[in-house]
Chains A and B, each alone.
Chain A
Amino acid sequence: MPSDYGYINARIRGQHSRLMKQGAYEELLALPGFLPMEKWMESSPYSRQWQLARARYQGLEALEWSLEKNFCQTTELLLKIAEGRPHHLIAIILRRWDLSNLIAVARGIHGGWSSAEILKSVLPAGSISEVKLQELASQPDLAGLADTLYTWGDDFYQPFKQALEEYQKEKDLAPVELELYKYYYSQVFKKLPLWGGDSDSLKGLFQREIDILNVKALKRLKEKKDLKPESIPEYFIPGGTLLSRETFIRFFDRKEGPKVLASLKWSPYYGYLSGKGSDQRTEENLEQEHFRELSKLYQGNPLGIDLVLGFLWQKYYEVINLRLVARGKFYGISGDQIRDQLLLW
């Protein structure tokens, strides 16, 4: 298997040519119900997974399963066609699905959900397989989850172990999630320098994500009335370019806070931070903007990791968009209302 980007990116371009065009969404939105969408699946690039899904599930569940399966198989393919440096970079990117799956499983266990319910909210596109996720979801508590990860030799065991004591005292999941994020990004920044100039795009991506997470933390903590000043630094995730730990802490100071905010006037987050109240829509906009930037990477360096990144996110959002359309059709929501929810680039 070759490790050069010429081969990998040629395959990615082939895969990319099967992504849906804007016009295809319009055709889907115009379909008169869920049944025609099932028919559409038969001749779509998702047909192979759709055939498999129909043997196991029915209706909306079958459709969602086939979309997710297709995405997971795409990520498997990405790892399979690359070796050496690109392989390691792709593995770093895919690890983020492990992170979000572990958060979903932890939330499910914390909320007392059944393992079947938990599994509906995971997407096994990372290195933790579906079978392993089933095992994790059936754990009785977070200690069991951490022990299972330790048994498998998965390094995400460490953040769980670190946050477990605090979780058991307060029964609050926030420290666990924070610890997971911090661990993931610290590992990313440890590994990226090993891959030289190739990893620059990835570095920028992760830095922007950390900025968004920190900005969201600022906004949410500002709204929190019982915030203890000594706990503020714990919410800061290092690695971003927008805020330093000191600036993050100064934001909550009565005198210094407005100055910090004014210093962020140039950034795309100023409007979000200066607005009052928690605004779900603005938060979504931040994430959508981030996604659009990622998608644009597909037009980047043809002999680098950019193409893989751009394609991966376009594919991911295609699956999310199709799931939205399917749900909309299943529950009889109008095409215009569904269109508002779609994220196109």
Chain B
Amino acid sequence: MVIWKALGAALAIGISAFATAWAQSRIGSAAAGAMAEKPEIGGVMIVLEALPETIIILGFVIAIMIVGMK
């Protein structure tokens, strides 16, 4: 049972980390392009770049819930 829990938690963290990385890479390149044309939008771009972090936070929460299950 402990092994399955650990595996579930690892998958929750791992998959959400990959999803975050993928989303941030796409947003990052588009943000770089947009800022090259309009440097004044830098602030908005930082916020947009940080948004996918919520995916891994949710993954982390789910991993804790799995580990804490009885």
Measured CB to CB, the residues of A under 8 A from B are: 2, 4, 6-11, 13-15, 17, 81
Which label, helix, strand, loop or mixed, suits the secondary structure of the B interface? helix
Q: Quick one: closest B residue to A303, CB to CB?
A: B26
Closest-by-CB residue of B relative to A2 is B29
Q: How far is the CA of A56 from the CA of B11 in the complex (A)?
A: 66
Find out whether the CB atom of B37 lies under 8 angstroms from the CB atom of A6: no
For chain B, give the interface size range.
Answer: 10 to 19
The interface residues of chain A lying within 8 Å CB-to-CB of B38 are 14, 17
Nearest Cβ distance between residue A213 and chain B, in whole angstroms? 35
Q: A2: which B residues are within 8 A, CB to CB? A: 29, 32-33
Which residues of B11-65 have CB atoms within 8 Å of chain A's CB atoms? 26-27, 29-34, 36-38
A interface: dominant SS: helix
* Residues of the A chain whose Cβ atoms lie less than 8 Å from the Cβ of B26: 4, 6
Question: 9 A-B residue contacts at CB 8 Å?
Answer: A2-B33, A6-B29, A7-B30, A9-B30, A9-B33, A10-B30, A10-B37, A14-B36, A17-B38
Report B's interface with A, CB cutoff 8 A. Answer: 26-27, 29-34, 36-38
Please tell me if the beta carbons of B30 and A6 are within 8 angstroms of each other in the complex. Answer: yes
Inter-chain pairs besides A2-B29, A7-B32, A10-B29, 16 sampled, C-beta below 8 Å? A4-B26, A6-B26, A7-B29, A7-B33, A9-B30, A9-B33, A10-B30, A10-B31, A10-B32, A10-B33, A11-B34, A11-B37, A14-B34, A14-B36, A14-B37, A15-B37
